[in-house]
Structure 1
Amino acid sequence: MKPLTALTVYTTTPIFYVNAKPHLGHFYSMTLADVRNRWCKFNKRDTFFTTGTDEHGLKVQMAAQTAGVDAKMFCDNLASKFKDLAKLGHIDYDRFIRTTDNDHYKAVYHFWNVVNANKYIYKGKHSGWYSVSDEAFYADTDIVESTDEKTGEKIMISKETSSTVIFQSEDNYFFQLSEFQDKLLSFLKDNPDFIKPKKYYDFIINELETRTLTDLSISRLSTRLQWGIPVPNDDTQRIYVWFDALINYLTSEGYPNATVMPRPTHLIGKDIIKFHCIYWPAFLMAAGLQMPKQVFVHGHWLMGGRKMSKSRGNVADPIKISNYYGTDALRLFMMKYSVLDTDGDYSEETLNTLRSEFIDKFCNLMVRSLSKNFNIERALSKLKTESLESLVKNVGDNEFSDKILFIQSSINNLKSDIDEDITNFEMHRAVQKIFNHAPLVNGLFDNYEPWAFKVKANDSEEVKSAKELKQDIIIFTALDSLRVILIILQSIIPEYSALLLDRLNVDSKKRTIDYANIGSDLSYGKDAIFKKGSKVPLSKLELLSQ
């Protein structure tokens, strides 16, 4: 494992439960975290990024039994599907952690023993309403009577998740969560940016101020739950899946042997906020370990404003979408319409429209700039001997000069303008700022019509030179702006960016942040002119559903 420091930017996705194959929500979480990690790495920050699978618990045990296979084999099969999704999605993780990994077992054992030695674990009888689906107990006030849609029988369900609950009573180990209510509240009030967006911070504050935390059952009888990590020194009990799963963030850092551990930034879905913002901080306090840096919470993806469901036929398959439109089309769509404090609404039409917009704005800009009517190599050669600021002054047109220098400044500032947006998972803001530059740069062609600066046979050398200079400045500004934009877009759409940068013949070693400025690379463009028969890098598609 790469060495980590206290300054390492450590980004995590939730680990995904393997009771079913991956879906669009998993792709979304992975991509959000991947874009942030790529961006931080692009900005020369030391980074560490983990994703993975949560493989223990009653749900997995029951799913494996239903499938008629060994639980580990069942997990191996599904874990490979999540890895396949990550590969398809260009997810550049440092570790894919599985809770069945040997070092995770060791980390969980050690963590349990530390919390137990600190006297925050005791054994007692537990009675309550348990949801197999949620792997959680609920208080009487958290459940309500309902009717089973299939059988018509009366059932009890969780108010929060609508999952069926059953009443259970057994001897378990308990974590003294009640001891941490005031400590958690104090910590959160001292760190108002710990949970983002604010609406989720307010939700947890309200929970802690209006509800009394009760001690948490952190084990299950092994006669009922076999598929789990045994409680140290008590093989009659298995460790509660959430106590086990949350420790994955420590396992990935090398716990308990690591001497230095960075504070992770957790990205989670809104349905697991209590586990990450109440239970997990309390567990860490009990073990005497540092808090995470932040927890960012995102919404879910709907279709047509409704939760995706096979029975409704409104399920979006990220693999099918990526195979037809290209993975980067889905990455771009999810980042463009990713607003953390709301649910997203998947639409194939919107995705295809956005993909077409990218082609219109950026691919067409490349085609226009690399027209056989222009000489990009001549334009670049001028910049090797004289700055853009100096060249535009020679044109003698103040309005033109101001326009070119404004574009230069705006493009040069783009990477800093979107840094905070991407670091804080506000991807929609970053994408919009990038796309806002397209009409600005394309406007150079509409406003100045560089193809009109044709040199005539009777033109004097002075007139010829003036025409070539203005044309070259326009083409250079347009194409170099595109080059910088594509370098910046690598974190969001790595495949599309590489495709277009390759078409520009940009050196692979000159796609770093050091070259994300106008004029910082003058070595590209050789033999890049679109000739007869040249292929456009991307073409538009008909809707898959048609």
Structure 2
Amino acid sequence: MIRSQIIISTRRFLSTAVSKKTVVTTPIFYVNSKPHIGHYYSMTLADVYNRWLKFNGESTYFTTGTDEHGLKVQTAAQAIGKDPKLFCDGLSAKFKELAATGDINYDRFIRTTDPDHLTAVQHFWTVLKENGHIYKGEHSGWYSVSDECFYTDQDVEEVDGKMVAKETGASVAFESEQNYFFRLSSFQDRLIQLLESNPSFVQPAVYYTTLLKSLKARDLEDLSISRPGSRVSWGIDVPDDSSQKMYVWFDALINYLTCMGYPGTEPLPDTLVHLVGKEIVKFHCVHWPCFLMACELPLPRSVFVHGHWLMDGRKMSKSRGNVADPIEIAEKYDIDALRLFMMRFSVLDGDCDYSEPKLNATRNEFIDKFCNLLTRSLSKKFHISRALQRVEQEGLPALLSQVDDQFSKDITDLYKQIDELADLVDPLYRKMELHKAVQTLWRLLPNVNGLFDVYEPWKLKGLENELKQDLVIFSALDSLRCLLILLQPVIPNYSKMLLDRLQVSPERRTREFAQIGKDTTYAHSATFAKGEKVPLQKIQL
């Protein structure tokens, strides 16, 4: 195939099913050990973001999966006397189990051992080589097995008599070998220009600033993108040279193209959104865009970066026995409790702290504020159907004109706050500032519950107070309905449970219905029966 034909083929590779959608990705997870809470955090951030886009009627394609080649996997499999593919099968299944338990609503779970990925990677390599961006040479440097990465002299230091990588603390050893190289250095100016012209390419800003400063401070070196097969046997062969295996990160990054049908016949969208951990920024924000530039393919729209999870302020470690297992947590507390806890208290530009008591306290607070508001509002003491019929037949403006000014003002102020919520949280969801989105919704609960404390609707009896009682009950129920609709991307199961209990029709749980008075068809027979418990029960530590 001549060069021009290759370039044309790489510009038109995406299936029609994906080409017009926002493509949302997690990193693919390395299978040298079972999944932990950090993996689930990445999955959940991307899942919530993806659900919000879909909630707003946008088409998306969401991918996650496992990274299965390289020396670490080869070594781990050898240590237990297992075939590398069988070793990967077992651990990849664990990550799939985590996604299923965690209610991660992906469209494709990719494995780098999938046949179509092999095709995609070898085709991508061929395009780079035909375009003149790959050459063979001698490579010397400090190699880290755990990081699957070579480091320069500037990137390593001596600690306790051992050489380690400054960035990760991983042990390194000086090695020299024959490899294939990608001409990364030739893309430095274009990469800097990309970042300067598009500050939102890397988010949050702290990672963008650090990356741009680093690129301006030192020259990029060409990147070794293969390893001798004599040392790394578990990998994808370099086309036309089976003595070399592709560098695991080169192989892994192309998974995003594989998921979209590469190489195919449709154009690649420029709506690719990545979510990655801070330890792999270099690969996704330096190597990856340069690979794409070299193949003349559109670049990602954004790369969101997040920090790590600690436990009670300390780094999680198997040796300390403080690694949080998300599946075990879900079995005890429900997966939505973990989703809510992580989304409420995590920040992208810093590390987060896992605490079981804090998780349980968050779950209890949800019960106290949301579940109790539900039971309070659906009490047999109130005429729920009458209240809803009044709103439907007469309209809120007419009803509020019949009550005193202070009562009308309190109710109207609450309605205004509820009706503004969708627009307030929309940019927060889209910037993955999910802690702010959840807190924005959460802080309305005291105002809603406050209606009961101030107006004591159970005491509002007689014809003159009947309307007030109905308005208090309607306002509480409708505010709760709107809040639960907007929280669906974060807590899909808890929201469904309470919206089902409110008898809200599934087709009326979209953004357009997250406004006061937009739906009066629910809850007409939802009154709590005598002795019926709150839909969610507290757990004692």
TM-score under structure 1 length normalisation: 0.95
Q: Does the 8 A contact of 2:377 with 2:476 survive in 1?
A: yes
Indicate which of 356, 359, 365 corresponds to 1:351.
Answer: 359
Q: Match of 2:325? A: 317
Question: For residues 242-281 of structure 1, what are the structure 2 equivalents within 5 Å?
Answer: 242-263=249-270, 264-281=272-289
> 2:75 maps to which residue?
62
My pick for the range that moved more, 19-28 or 353-362, is 353-362
Distance in 2 separating the partners of 1:243 and 1:227: 14
1:468 — aligned with what?
466
Map of 2:206 onto structure 1: 199
**Contact 1:453–1:468 (8 Å) recurs in 2:** yes
- Picking from 500, 503, 523, the partner of 1:502 is 500
The one-letter code sitting in structure 2 at the alignment partner of 1:473 is L
| 1:287–1:303 distance in 2 versus 1, CA, 3 Å | same
Q: Give the deviation of 1:319 after TM superposition.
A: 1.0
What's the CA shift for 1:514? 2.6
Q: Which amino acid aligns with 1:217?
A: S
Q: Deviations over 1:144-175 (max 9, x none)?
A: 1223xxxxxx4211111110111111111000
Q: How far 1:4 moved relative to its partner?
A: 4.1
Shift of 1:6: 5.4
After superposition, the C-alpha distances for 1:306-325 in whole angstroms (9 at most, x for unaligned) are 21012112221111111101
| Structure 1 counterpart of 2:30 | 17
Query: Who is 1:524 aligned against?
Result: 522
Tell me if structure 2 keeps the 8 A contact 1:339–1:426: yes
Judge which range, 166-175 or 510-519, deviates more: 510-519
CA shift at 1:261, angstroms? 2.0
Equivalent positions of 1:413-428 (< 5 A) are 413-428=420-435
Equivalents in 1 of 2:354, 2:506: separation in Å? 34
State the partner residue of 1:461: none
SS at match of 1:167: strand
What is the alpha-carbon distance in structure 1 between the residues aligned to residue 197 and residue 497 of structure 2? Answer: 47
Letter matched to residue 250 of structure 2: F
Q: CA deviation at 1:503?
A: 1.1
Q: Contact between 2:229 and 2:242, CA under 8 Å: does it hold in 1?
A: yes
8 Å Cα contact 1:450-1:474 kept in structure 2:
yes
Residue pairs, 1:218-237, within 5 angstroms: 218-237=225-244
Identity among equivalent positions (%) equals: 58
**1:401 equivalent among 404, 408, 421:** 408
Aligned pairs for 1:357-372 (under 5 A) are 357-372=365-380
What corresponds to 1:410 in structure 2?
417
Q: Alignment length, in residue pairs?
A: 527
- Other-structure match for 2:483: 485
Q: State the one-letter code of the partner of 2:64.
A: T
Which secondary structure does the structure 2 equivalent of 1:266 belong to? strand
8 Å contact 1:218–1:240 — kept in the other structure?
yes
> Structure 2: how far apart are the matches of 1:386 and 1:7?
44
What does 1:53-452 align with in structure 2 at a 5 Å threshold?
Answer: 53-147=66-160, 154-263=161-270, 264-395=272-403, 397-452=404-459
Do the aligned partners of 1:220 and 1:240 also contact (CA within 8 Å) in 2? Answer: yes
Q: Residue 447 and residue 3 in structure 1: after superposition, are their counterparts in 2 closer, same or farther (change >3 A)? A: farther
Q: In structure 2, what is the Cα distance between the partners aligned to 1:28 and 1:2?
A: 29
**Cα distance in 1 between the residues matched to 2:240 and 2:323:** 45
Residue deviations 1:340-397 (CA, integer Å, cap 9, x gap): 10100111111111111111111111111011110111111112211112111112x1
* SS of aligned partner of 1:358: helix
Cα 1:97–1:5 shift into 2, 3 Å: closer
Please give the per-residue CA displacement for 1:258-312, whole angstroms capped at 9, x wherever unaligned: 4132231111000001111111111111111111001111000001222101211
CA distance in 1 between counterparts of 2:513 and 2:467 reads 24
* Structure-2 residue corresponding to 1:150: none
Identify the match of residue 511 of structure 1 among 509, 512, 518: 509
**CA distance 1:280–1:85, shift in 2 (3 Å):** same
Q: Which residue of 1 aligns with 2:65?
A: 52
Kept after mapping to 2: 8 A contact 1:156/1:165: yes
3-state SS of paired residue (2:402): helix
Q: Which runs of 5+ in 1 are unaligned?
A: 148-153, 456-463
Distance in structure 2 (CA, Å) of the matches to 1:540 and 1:335? 20
Q: 1:53 aligns to what SS in structure 2?
A: strand
Equivalent residue letter for 2:178:
D
Which stretches in structure 2 are left out of the alignment for 5+ residues?
1-13
How many Å separate the matches in 1 of 2:315 and 2:491? 27
What is the CA–CA distance in structure 1 between the aligned matches of 2:44 and 2:230, rounded to whole Å? Answer: 39
Change (3 A) 1:467 1:3: farther
Say whether 1:34 aligns with 2:26.
no
Measured in 1, the distance between the counterparts of 2:460 and 2:349 equals 51
SS of alignment partner, residue 394 of structure 1: coil
Cα drift, residue 533 of structure 1: 1.8
CA contact (8 A) 1:4 1:260 kept: no
User: Which AA in structure 1 matches 2:47?
Assistant: D
SS of 1:125's equivalent? strand
Separation (CA, whole Å) in 2 of partners of 1:389 and 1:443: 22
Provide the secondary structure at the position in 1 that maps to 2:285. helix
Do the aligned residues in 2 keep the contact of 1:302 with 1:345 (CA within 8 Å)? Answer: yes
What is the letter of the counterpart of residue 542 of structure 1? Q
Whether the 8 Å contact between 1:333 and 1:351 is mirrored in structure 2 is yes
Please report how far the alpha carbon of residue 399 of structure 1 lies from its aligned counterpart in structure 2 after TM superposition. Answer: 1.3
Q: Which moved more, 1:137-146 or 1:38-47?
A: 137-146
CA contact (8 A) 2:47 2:104 kept: yes
Shift of 1:143: 1.1
TM superposition shift of 1:445 = 0.5
